[in-house]
Structure 1
Amino acid sequence: MTKKIKIKKPVAKVAAKKSVVKKPTPKTETKKTVKKPVIKNAPKSEPVDELDDELEDEAPEKETPKAETKKKGNAALEAKKAKTQQLKEENKSGKGHNGGPNFGGVSGEQLRNYIERIEKLEEDKKVLSEDIKEVLAESKANGFDNKIIRKIIQLRKMDAAEREELETLIDLYKHALGMIPSDSAEDEDEDETL
């Protein structure tokens, strides 16, 4: 005898899997901020203040309470224009900084001038060091010791007080090593001869 076994399908589980169908949600558009275009290599012939003047001329003025505050703002704008104009005149006349683009408070033309001056001084320094070598070679050819010459030059650059202090210290070391007889030994020798 064979019995048939019925396999029951779990109905609840199948229904649970098909349960939620996602409905498409309407997309809301977000307001995007528009950045003003920046012109990196714009000619500098027309400053921003002059462009502001053109825009102010095109807009009609209304007589409202805001007009009074706008007049105050215009006074500040006029002061700013005067300052800009003064800086332009200084740049043209050479009283201010030496023209060129101004990045982070450093004028390009000034920086270029400093670099050129330093390069010129470096070249002069090389020429002078070659001249010094020639003079030292000449002195050595005539029998002088270059180490002694350099030491004398170093001593001459010192202050008089500093030089005397160094010489005293050297004499003290020489006396301690017995390289120079002490003055007291000479005095004793003189006493014995008397």
Structure 2
Amino acid sequence: MKPVRIIGMAWFRREDWPRGSGHHGGRRRPPFVARIERLEEEKANIANDIGEVYSEAKSSGFDVKILRKLIAMRKKSKQALAEEDEFLSVYRAAVGL
């Protein structure tokens, strides 16, 4: 079976794929493709910046693993945190911690 590719909402066989670099079926690539590519590049740059901040924190003596956990916890609601703590307590008791 030949690979298929989704373009828009339709399925096309490989031989039906649009040809040509930067073109979409003989047309210029849609503007949203360029926007997505630009945003992906920005996302990579931001991820790099975040990594540098964690490196700075580590060199200042902070435990990066704990910082990441704290950042993840701050994203959760108080209710979600309380529920998670409750489940952890139950599981700890079940395994004897």
| TM-score category (smaller protein) | 0.5 to 0.7
Unaligned runs of 5+ in 1: 1-102, 180-194
Q: Does residue 86 of structure 2 align to residue 168 of structure 1? A: yes
**Structure showing greater relative contact order (alpha-carbon pairs closer than 8 Å, 6 or more residues apart):** 2
Equivalent position to 2:54, from 136, 153, 165: 136
Q: How far, CA to CA, are the matches of 2:68 and 2:74 in structure 1?
A: 10
Displacement, 1:166? Answer: 0.3
Amino acid at match of 2:37: E
Residue pairs, 1:69-88, within 5 angstroms: none
- C-alpha distance in 2 between matches for 1:149 and 1:168: 22
Identity %: 38
CA-CA distance at 1:175 after TM superposition: 4.0
Equivalent residues in 2 for 1:30-179, closer than 5 Å? 108=27, 111-179=29-97
In 2, Cα distance between the equivalents of 1:176 and 1:143? 35
Give the RMSD, CA atoms, in angstroms.
2.0
Q: Give the C-alpha shift of residue 177 in structure 1.
A: 4.7
Letter in 2 for 1:131: D
Distance 2:60 2:92 in 1: 30
- Structure 2: give runs of 5+ residues left out of the alignment: 1-24
Q: CA deviation at 1:168?
A: 1.3
Cα deviation 1:121-160 (Å, max 9, x = unaligned) = 0110111011011000011111111111111111222222
Count of residues paired in the alignment: 72
Misfit runs of 4+, over 2 Å:
171-179
For residue 165 of structure 1, report the CA deviation from its aligned partner: 0.4
Separation in 1, partners of 2:94, 2:33: 53
TM-score relative to the length of structure 2: 0.62
The one-character-per-residue Cα deviations of 1:68-109 (angstroms, maximum 9, x if unpaired) are xxxxxxxxxxxxxxxxxxxxxxxxxxxxxxxxxxx7xxxx56
Larger radius of gyration between Structure 1 and Structure 2: 1
